[in-house]
C-alpha cells in the first residue's frame, strides 16, 4: 500500500478550507483528484465519499452537544436521501462502462459544481437581503433561541432525495447544495442550526453513498488513506482558525475555484475558461459593490468594525451565564 504524500499535502489544504467554511469537501476534493492527479472520476468519487463518511461524524457530535441540530428535519431528509444516495451509485454504473461512465460522471460533476458555485452566491445575497430587512424594521430580528419550525414533510423528503442522487453520483452536494435548499424552506433557522442540521443529515447520506461505492464503485484503500491523512488535520486546523479568518472572503474564493473546476470538467477550452474567469474576477467585486450600496450597506466591508460587532455579540451572550454563576444559585 502506497501513500501519495503530494496528494496528502493537497488534501491538507482542502481540509483547511473545509474547516474554515463548513463546506466544499467533495466540491473541491473530487475535481482536484480528477484534474491534477489524473484519477478516474469514478475512483475519485468513490474514495472521496468513503473518506467523508469517516470525517462527517466528528463535526456532527459537536453540533449535537451544542443543541444546534433540528432532529425532525434530519429524520425526513434522511428518509429521502439515504435510499437515493445508494441509488445514485447504481445510476452512475448504469451510465455505461469504461470510459463512457467516467465521462458521464465528469460531466455530472461539472454541472454539480456550477450549481454549488451559484448556490454560494445566492446564499450570500439572501443573507444580505435578510440583514437589510432586519435593519430597516421590515423583518423581526433573527431569533436568538432555538426557533420552533414546522417541518414541511414532502418538500424536505424531496430535497433529501435530490441531494442524495447528486451525492451518490458526484460526491458533491451534502454540504454545498442541501444547505441552500434548507435556507429557502426554513428561513427561521439560525445559521448555526442550518449548518448543524445539514452536517448531521449528511452522516447517513454519505454513509449510504460510501457503502454503495464500496460495493459497486471503484473504491481504492490507499487513495482513501491519503485523503484522510491530509484532510483530518487540515479540517482541524481550519476549524481552529475559523474565528479569525474572514469567512466571506474564503467563501468567495471557494465559489471562484468551483467555477474554474466546473468549466474544466465540462471540457471548456483553456482560453475560453481563462477569459470567463478573468471577467468574473473583475466584474464580481463591482457587482457586489453595487448590490451592497443598493441595500444601504457600505460598498466595502469594514473588517475591524465587523470584528468589533462579533466581539460585542459574544460578550452579550456570555453575560447571562456570568450573572447566573454569580447569583445565589452559583455559590
- pTM exceeding the 0.75 threshold for the entire prediction: no
Rounded to an integer, what distance in angstroms lies between the CA atom of residue 5 and that of residue 19?
21
Per-block mean pLDDT, blocks of 10 residues, the chain (331 long): 85 77 66 86 85 76 77 93 90 71 77 81 82 75 58 92 87 70 77 75 88 83 89 77 61 78 84 91 92 85 61 55 44 34
What confidence score (pLDDT) does residue 329 get?
Answer: 40
Confidence (pLDDT) at 25: 63
Taking Cα atoms as reference points, which of 264, 244, 204 lies closest to residue 60? 204
Alpha-carbon distance of 93 to 212, in angstroms, equals 11
- Predicted confidence at residue 29, as pLDDT, reads 82
DSSP per-residue codes, 206-269: HHHHHHHHHHHS---HHHHHHHHHHHHHHHHHHHHHTTTS-HHHHHHHHHHHHHHHHHHHTT--
pLDDT at 200: 85
For residue 41, the model assigns a pLDDT of 84
Could you count the other beta carbons within 10 Å of the beta carbon of residue 275?
A: 12
Question: In Å, how far from its chain's centre is CA 196?
Answer: 11
Ranges of each domain in the chain: 5-268
Residue 236, CB-side half-sphere exposure with 13 Å CA sphere = 7
What does the pLDDT read at residue 238? 72
Amino acid at each position: 500500500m502506497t501513500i501519495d504524500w503530494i496528494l496528502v499535502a493537497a488534501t491538507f489544504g482542502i481540509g483547511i478550507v473545509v474547516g474554515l467554511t463548513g463546506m466544499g469537501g467533495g466540491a473541491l476534493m473530487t475535481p482536484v483528484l480528477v484534474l491534477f492527479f489524473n484519477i478516474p472520476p469514478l475512483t475519485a468519487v468513490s474514495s472521496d465519499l468513503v473518506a467523508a463518511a469517516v470525517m462527517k461524524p466528528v463535526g456532527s457530535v459537536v453540533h449535537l452537544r451544542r443543541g444546534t441540530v433540528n432532529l425532525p428535519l434530519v429524520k425526513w431528509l434522511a428518509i429521502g436521501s439515504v435510499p437515493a444516495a445508494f441509488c445514485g451509485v447504481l445510476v452512475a454504473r448504469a451510465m455505461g462502462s469504461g470510459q463512457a461512465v467516467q465521462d458521464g460522471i465528469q460531466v455530472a460533476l461539472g454541472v454539480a459544481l456550477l450549481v454549488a458555485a451559484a448556490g454560494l452566491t445566492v446564499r450570500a445575497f439572501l443573507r444580505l437581503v435578510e440583514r437589510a430587512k432586519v435593519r430597516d424594521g421590515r423583518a423581526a430580528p433573527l431569533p436568538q433561541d432555538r426557533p420552533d419550525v414546522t417541518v414541511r414533510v414532502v418538500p424536505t423528503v424531496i430535497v433529501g432525495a435530490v441531494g442524495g442522487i447528486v451525492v451518490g453520483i458526484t460526491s458533491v452536494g451534502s454540504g454545498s447544495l442541501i444547505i441552500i435548499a434548507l435556507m429557502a424552506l426554513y428561513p427561521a433557522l439560525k445559521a448555526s442550526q442550518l449548518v448543524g442540521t445539514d452536517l448531521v443529515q449528511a452522516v447517513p447520506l454519505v454513509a449510504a453513498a460510501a457503502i454503495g461505492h464500496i460495493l459497486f464503485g471503484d473504491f481504492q484503500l490507499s487513495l482513501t488513506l491519503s485523503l484522510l491523512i491530509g484532510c483530518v488535520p487540515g479540517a482541524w486546523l481550519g476549524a481552529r482558525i475559523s474565528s479569525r479568518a474572514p469567512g466571506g472572503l474564503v467563501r468567495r474564493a471557494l465559489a471562484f475555484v468551483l467555477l474554474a473546476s466546473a468549466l474544466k470538467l465540462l471540457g471548456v477550452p483553456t482560453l475560453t475558461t481563462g477569459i470567463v474567469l478573468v471577467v468574473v474576477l473583475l466584474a464580481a467585486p463591482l457587482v457586489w459593490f453595487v448590490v451592497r450600496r443598493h441595500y444601504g450597506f457600505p460598498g466595502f466591508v469594514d473588517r475591524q468594525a465587523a470584528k468589533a460587532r462579533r466581539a460585542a455579540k459574544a460578550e452579550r451572550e456570555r453575560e447571562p451565564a456570568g450573572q447566573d454563576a454569580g447569583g445565589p444559585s452559583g455559590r
